Amino acid sequence: MRTVLDFEKPIAELDANIEALKRITAEQGIDKSEEIAALERDRERLLREIFRKLTPWDRTLLARHPQRPYTLDYIRVIFDDFVELHGDRQFGDDGAVIGGMAWLNEKPVMVIGQQKGRDLKERQRRNFGMAKPEGYRKALRLMYLAEKFGRPVITFVDTPAADPGVESESRGISEAIARNLREMMMLKVPIVSVVIGEGGSGGALGIAVADRVLMQEYAIYSVIPPEGCAAILWRDPKRAPEAAEALKLTAQDALRFGVVDEVVAEPLGGAHRDPLAAAQMVKEALLKHLPPLQKLSVGKLRESRYERYRNLGVWTVAAE
């Protein structure tokens, strides 16, 4: 079942009309091409209009859109081949985190990403993209493997949060995330992260410490979900749209704060309207950012990674 967000409804109507005309053309051989072209022009104008005025909450909904491409969708388009590798060698294999060997324009890279599920069954298997400790530990194992053979690491970030359950707590979810933060800081190969959907707080960051962090135009990145923030601030989760505004969770905000290095444009109407084009745009961004990092010495690479994070934050000096 396709999900249509409220602000997408006028577009969905036009989509349906265009489809109907195309069907008439195909089935009855009546030439409707002029009408179709006119409707398509209307649709483009409407899309531009709607997407120019998106609120942070609209963007939150887009980032969580059930039709939005997920990590595996990007992997299939961006890389020539992908050999998925499983397990953390300690406890198990986390379905919410996938990883493996891939080839970006024939050059080997290690790819790691959080994976949401498309249907109910897959959603459960993927735990809604919420990684458990074994997911972060699998990611780290694959990063060490990449480091051992000098391959760069590319991560795709898309999670509402790390798994908050009893099992995850029992196996040290905090330790797993904290260790990744520290180890990714020291990794001797380049890391590029792309926030492709929901950048959900520490759960996202646990695979997102990188030399370059890219973020898609309609992805979000936040310290807390807007609903949780509204519940704490106003004891009312329904005020999430206001919280989304206050949290400054959009890609443009992340760029302004220096948290991300580039906002990767999405096709008009969002990545889900044209997943292939969206993936091509991400691929181009990867091809732009990765090669210069591969030319750096290990020392220089890690020094600039440290500086990148060292300088994040805004504070002030107290007047005595």
Partner 1 sequence: MQRGWFARHRRSEELNLDEMNDAWVKCNGCQQILFARDFERNLKVCPRCGHHHRLSARERIALLADEETFVERDAEVVSADPLGFPEYVDKLNRGKANSGLPEAIISGTCTLSGIPIVLAVQDFAFMGGSMGSAVGEKVVRAMEYALEQRLPIVICSTSGGARMQEGLLSLMQMAKTCAAAAKLHEAGVPYISVLTDPTMAGVLASYASVGDVVIAEPGALIGFAGQRVAQQAQVIKPPPNFQTAEFQLEHGMVDIVVPRKELKHTLSRVLRFFTGG
Q: Own/partner pairs for 276-281, CB < 8 Å, 24+ apart?
A: 276/77, 278/69, 278/74, 278/216, 279/69, 279/73, 279/74, 279/76, 279/77, 279/78, 280/77
Question: Nearest approach, Cβ of 87 to partner 1 (angstroms)?
Answer: 20
Question: Nearest approach, Cβ of 107 to partner 1 (angstroms)?
Answer: 27
Nearer to partner 1, 6 or 320 (CB): 320
Question: Nearest approach, Cβ of 153 to partner 1 (angstroms)?
Answer: 15
At 7, the amino acid letter reads F
- The C-alpha atoms of residue 106 and residue 143 are separated, in whole angstroms, by 19
Radius of gyration of the chain (CA): 21
The CA-atom distances, in angstroms, between 297 and each of 2, 151, 261, 291, 304 are 48, 14, 21, 13, 11
Nearer to partner 1, 1 or 319 (CB): 319
Nearer to partner 1, 79 or 136 (CB): 136
Check: CB of residue 289 under 8 Å from CB of residue 214.
Answer: yes
Nearer to partner 1, 260 or 264 (CB): 260
Closest to 260 in 3D by CA, of 298, 294, 297, 222:
222
Question: Nearest approach, Cβ of 222 to partner 1 (angstroms)?
Answer: 7
Check: CB of residue 7 under 8 Å from CB of residue 49.
Answer: no
Nearer to partner 1, 120 or 317 (CB): 317
Question: Nearest approach, Cβ of 174 to partner 1 (angstroms)?
Answer: 4
Q: Hey, which residues does 198 pair with through a beta bridge?
A: 220
Closest to 230 in 3D by CA, of 244, 220, 251:
244
CB atoms under 10 Å from CB of 235, counted, come to 8
Nearer to partner 1, 69 or 197 (CB): 197
Contact positions toward partner 1, by CB under 8 A? 162-175, 177-179, 181-183, 185-186, 201-202, 205-206, 209, 221-224, 228-229, 231-233, 246-249, 253-254, 257, 259, 305-306, 309-310, 312-318, 320
Two tokens at 31?
A: 């030439």
Which helix (DSSP H) or strand (DSSP E) does residue 84 occupy? strand 82-84
Question: Nearest approach, Cβ of 20 to partner 1 (angstroms)?
Answer: 43
Question: Nearest approach, Cβ of 161 to partner 1 (angstroms)?
Answer: 8
Nearer to partner 1, 130 or 154 (CB): 130
